[in-house]
Structure 1
Amino acid sequence: MTELYVPEPAGRRGFCDRGGVISELVDDPVTDPAAAARGARELGVLDERIARCTACPRLVEWREQVAREKRAAFRDQTYWGRPVPGFGPPDAAIAVVGLAPAAHGANRTGRMFTGDRSGDVLYRAMHDVGLASQPHAHGLGDGLVLHRTRITSPVRCAPPANKPTPAERDTCRPWLARELVLLRDTVRVVLVLGGFGWQAVLPVLHDAAWAVPSPRPKFGHGAEAVLPARDGGADLNLLGCYHVSQQNTFTGTLTPEMLRDVLRRARELAGI
């Protein structure tokens, strides 16, 4: 098989065969996320290392299977098929945290909440409140820019049935912890989408720089908590929001106005 490197925006590099299927990234795979994350001194380096992670065999197998088999509507597209880095500027004051990439969304496009209906809802609301340059997100190179906001997740690979195992979640934890450390000077708000993400992110925040109160803050839409800094820096505002899943948005559990209200609150707390 003849293989071809395909340049990607923002310094990313796709690795695909000429049939349009992403093959396994074989150059220097990352098998120890904790060590690789700890050694990353800037977000660009961290993002590149995340995209080479092969630490969880079940997730590697699944993400690549999805990238090969594809969904019929995307059969002519080249899937990203690898771990998905965070997206947003290095001076972000707000971090929006989901749970994991969608199989035919970010696992296809290579960017968080891009290419699926959940992302359509999220980016429309972010644009409405001034956190995104445009209301749509189709794929890398579509011109989307986030304003003082970064979107990320505690699990970087699309998991089967959208359910990572506890071991996979814990293996992936150092990536997000390091990302927050690298954002430490500017981040003031972490907005978590969904209860599963809320539970996953609390130990990450502790690993990064903040003390999680006991008892732990409970998730709810509009829930707020202040996490004191453990390093002498700024405290962190933790916000909860129902996930932008189709189940929530189609049933009205989460409406566009509810989402905009939480994003406005995040802007207020972040001072932007």
Structure 2
Amino acid sequence: MAFARPLRSVLYIPGSKPRALDKARGLATDAIIFDLEDAVSVDEKVAARATLAEALATGGYGARMRIVRINGLDTEWGADDAAAAKAMGADAILMPKVSSASDLDALAEITGDTPLWAMMETPLGMLNAAAIAAHPLLQGMVMGTNDLAKELQTRFRADRLPLMTGLGLCLLAAKAHGLAIVDGVYNAFKDDEGLAVECAQGRDMGFDGKTLIHPAQLDVANTAFSPSEAELDLARRQIAAFQDVEASGQGVAVVDGRIVENLHIVTARETLAKAEAIAALAAETPT
């Protein structure tokens, strides 16, 4: 079963910045990655735990999914981050640079049954994506495309061709195990047109949403990963036509000159359910 919670936009917020943590309470993002890793300088890493814990204890994030990204367990901060994140009561803990299922086992020894997410950003992680996705505590994957591009020594291409093998392997693994999976960041946060193109590509590939580095990117991502009015209209008409044929017991359903089979009805119902979930999230979340 697919991950039903809306994850169109997943915004990184530094765990060390009280102002940013407060501002996030009013942003139209489906989920927040509260970052203790890349967005926090070395001299702020210890203090960031307390800052983030206070923000989460204060609350005000509504129905947004709250994910805490820790430092790797191979760093001096990782183990303490993991213990602190468990105590914060976030919805999930995100582990960076997961390369094997054993990495998640090591984290679970500290965090217990807290749901886990995995940053997929290493070549070995791509090759082990299926085993990682099968981990019993894993609920989602986040593509770390910047780190992956660095490790692969690729050149930047707008079509992301050098990254397609890795993206595809992780998508297959996530879908096979019913996990959420969100696309990597788009670095040029003032380039709405480029972001829209990359969001459309990710949506067409099957990603649930996109990780974002700036609030200015929220509207583009939310629009791209929401069902369009045309998609909703088609879904309703497909369901109606299929039900009419089933009731009459004759012929096959046809909509817009195309045969409608049961698999199309499954997709149509998922489309309508996603729209309902997005509306419910908007109603539950303060802005």
TM-score normalised by length of structure 2: 0.28
Larger radius of gyration: 2
The structure whose residues are more often helix, as a share, is 2
TM-score normalised by length of structure 1: 0.30
